[in-house]
Amino acid sequence: MSVAPPPPDPPPVPQKRPAFEPPGRLLKPTGYDPDMRRPPTIVAGTALVLLRVLAGIVVLGGLALGWDDLIDDPGAMLDGFDPSPEGAQAALWLVLAAGGTVLLIDMLLAILVYRGRNWARVIVMVIAAGSISTSFFAWWAQGQEITLDSTFVSLSLDILVLLALSSRSAAAYARRNERRDEPVPGTVP
């Protein structure tokens, strides 16, 4: 009588990351590593912020080209506006200057994020979260549609910026120069 060989061992099952992680692990500070290479998430986040700036330039250009039609539209709500040609031109320059200033600040923040400044990364994430929240509340409260030609592009860019810059690798890169004193084991901090 022959004995059958034992069945082969099943192949190893890859370990999955849990859907949630303990807060202690998430709050664990990153290590001091000034020579850390720039992660792809920082590069992607910076590129997305620059795309957001480019989209803003396109919007300001379209606004400048369609300014006369906007002024002549009877449904436009322009209270306290001087309807003369000089007033219309002054209002256009005011809108373009304000928009250009916001875009320059956004571009400066993108450069600082690329260089690894944590405060700039946090500001960009707060701006993105505020923009996403504003789009949501405009949809919820006012019934504003999210369409491809109005808010879809800016909303998607803000979501992607938030995802890229809130990653662990982006946070570790932005905080790579922070030296932390490690507590001595067995002592109370």
**Torsion angle in degrees (nearest 10) through CA of 48, 54, 55, 61:** 170
Percent of the chain with pLDDT over 90: 37
Domain regions of the chain by residue span? 37-174
Residue 51 CA to residue 120 CA, distance in Å, equals 17
Q: Is-contact 85 143, C-beta < 8 A?
A: no
Q: With 60 as the cut, is the pLDDT of residue 183 above it?
A: no
Q: With 60 as the cut, is the pLDDT of residue 187 above it?
A: no
Banded model confidence at residue 17, pLDDT cuts 50, 70, 90 = low
Residue 107 CA to residue 124 CA, distance in Å, equals 10
Q: Is 37 helix (H, G, I), strand (E, B) or coil?
A: coil
What value does the mean pLDDT of the chain take?
A: 82
Mean pLDDT of 130-151: 80
pLDDT at res. 184: 46
Q: Is-contact 182 31, C-beta < 8 A?
A: no
For 156-175, how does the pLDDT look when each residue is reduced to its tens digit (9 = 90+)?
999 999 999 998 889 888 88
Contacts of 60 (CB under 8 A, 6+ apart): 95, 96, 99, 100, 103
